[in-house]
Structure 1
Amino acid sequence: MSILQAIRTFFFYLLLGTSALLWCSLSFFVAPFLPFRARYRFINVYWCRCALWLTRVFLNIQVEVKGAENIPQQPCVILANHQSTWETFFLSAYFQPLSQVLKRELLYVPFFGWAMAMLRPIAIDRDNPKAALKHIAKKGDELLK
C-alpha cells in the first residue's frame, strides 16, 4: 500500500467512524418521533449513501449495477454472501425498506445497536442455528405480506 493510499484509507475510516457516531447519536433523539419509513430513510438510507460516497471519494470504489431491470418491484428476499461491510451499505441504501438479519448482540452496541433496533431488524441467536432459521422464516414471511 502506498503512502497516499494509507492516508486516504485513514481519512476514510476516520470520517466513517465519526459520521456513524454522529448519525447514530442524532438518530437516537430524532428517529423515535418519525413514522417507520421516514425513520428508516433517516437512519439507514441517508447514512449508507454517505458511507458509499466516502468509499467512492476516498477509496475510489465505483459501483455499476447490471441487471437492475430484473429487480422486482414487489417485496422480495435479497440474499447476499456477506463478504464485507460494503454490501451492507449498498443494499441498505438502494433497497427500501429493507429488514436486515443480524446477530442479536449487535443491538447492544452503544449508539449503533440502539439506532439499528429502531429499524426493527430480524435479530437472531447465532448460538442456536435451528431456532434462528425458524425465526428468520417466520419474521421474513410476516414482512413479505
Structure 2
Amino acid sequence: MIYLRSALFNTFMMLSVPLWVAALFLVLPFGYRARLGIASSWARTNLWVLKHVCRLDYSVEWRGQLPEQPCVIYMKHESTWETLAQMAVFRVQQSWVLKREILRIPVFGWGMFFMRPIAIDRRGGRRAVEQLVSQGQEKFAEGNYVMIFPEGHRMKPGKTRRYGMGGALLAREAGVPIVPMVHNAGDFWARVQFGKRPGTIQVVVGDAIWPGERSPQALNAEVQLWMERELRRISPNRDYEYARAEDAVDAAQRHGRWKR
C-alpha cells in the first residue's frame, strides 16, 4: 500500500506542475506577490494530497518568533518535502537560493524562472558567493526572506557537511539574523526513496541568531550546532555517524563533510 499510495501522489504531483506553470504565466502581469500566491497554493495542495493519500503529515514547533524584517532562513535538506513545506511553514514573501541547473528542467524549470530565484553556479566559487550576497540584499530590499539550504544539496539522514559561506556572509553584510529550521522528513521520505512512509514529520523553527561581529565560519558553526542538536532530539533513533552534535559540526568544519 505504501508504494501504491506513493505512486498516486507522485502522479498527482507531476501532473500538477504544468498547471502550476500555466497559472504562473497567466498572473505575470500582476507582479511577484501574485506569482508567490500561486506557488504557495501549489505547495499546500501537494502537502494536502500527501497527507490524505500517503498519510504523511507534519507538525511545527516554534522555538522563537520569526523576525518581522526579512532575514536569512537556513533549512535542513534531506528530502523533496522541505522544498514544498517552506512555503507552508513560512507564510512570508520569500526568494529561494538554488542551483542554476534547476532552471533547465523542462516545465518545472520554466516555473522556477518566473519566480526569480537566486540561481547560482555551484562551481562558481567566490563569484557564486558574491552573487548570493548581492542578489540577496536586493531581495531583502523587495521585502523577501532569503531561503537557503546551507548544505548545498540533499543529504542522507544522519549526515551533514560544512555549510556554505554565502548565507552567513549575506546575514553579516546585511545586518540580519539567520533563522534555522530542522525536520526529520528523511525518516519518512528520503532523498532517493520512492515510498513515503506514513507518520508525522516534526519541524522545529529556532530563534533568530544574529551575526554580530563574528566571522561567517563562526556564525555557521553556531547555527549548525543548534540544528544538529535539534535533529538528535526529534530523531534520537537515527544512525548518526557522530553521536554528539559537537563532533558532527567539528568534523564538518575540518573536513567539509561527514567521513564516509
TM over 0.5: yes
Alignment partner of 2:130 out of 118, 130, 134: 134
Identity across matched positions, percent: 36
Alignment partner of 1:48 out of 10, 21, 43: 43
1:32-76 C-alpha deviation (Å, 9 max, x unpaired): 22221112111x101010111121112222211111652222211
Q: Which residue of 2 aligns with 1:105?
A: 101
Alignment partner of 1:87 out of 70, 79, 82: 82
Unaligned runs of 5+ in 1: none
Length-normalised TM-score, structure 2: 0.51
Q: Which residue of 2 aligns with 1:73?
A: 68
Unaligned runs of 5+ in 2: 142-260
CA displacement at 1:23 relative to structure 2: 1.6
Secondary structure of the equivalent of 1:127? helix
Secondary structure of the equivalent of 2:98? strand
**Counterpart amino acid of 2:95?**
S
**Counterpart amino acid of 2:12?**
L
Secondary structure of the equivalent of 1:116? helix
- Paired residues of 1:45 and 1:94 also in contact (CA < 8 A): no
Q: Which segment is superposed worse, 95-104 or 63-72? A: 63-72
Alignment partner of 2:14 out of 17, 34, 42: 17
Secondary structure of the equivalent of 1:102? strand
Secondary structure of the equivalent of 2:95? coil
Q: Which has the higher strand share?
A: 2
Cα distance in 2 for partners of 1:56, 1:68 equals: 24
Length-normalised TM-score, structure 1: 0.87
Cα distance in 2 for partners of 1:102, 1:12 equals: 24
- Paired residues of 2:99 and 2:120 also in contact (CA < 8 A): yes
Secondary structure of the equivalent of 1:70? coil
Report the number of matched residues. 140
CA RMSD of aligned residues (A): 1.6
- Paired residues of 2:60 and 2:89 also in contact (CA < 8 A): no
CA displacement at 1:27 relative to structure 2: 2.4
Cα distance in 1 for partners of 2:106, 2:43 equals: 18
Cα distance in 2 for partners of 1:7, 1:33 equals: 40
Cα distance in 2 for partners of 1:129, 1:21 equals: 33
Question: Over alpha carbons, which structure has the higher Rg?
Answer: 2
Runs of 4+ in 1 over 6 A off after TM superposition: none
Secondary structure of the equivalent of 1:88? helix
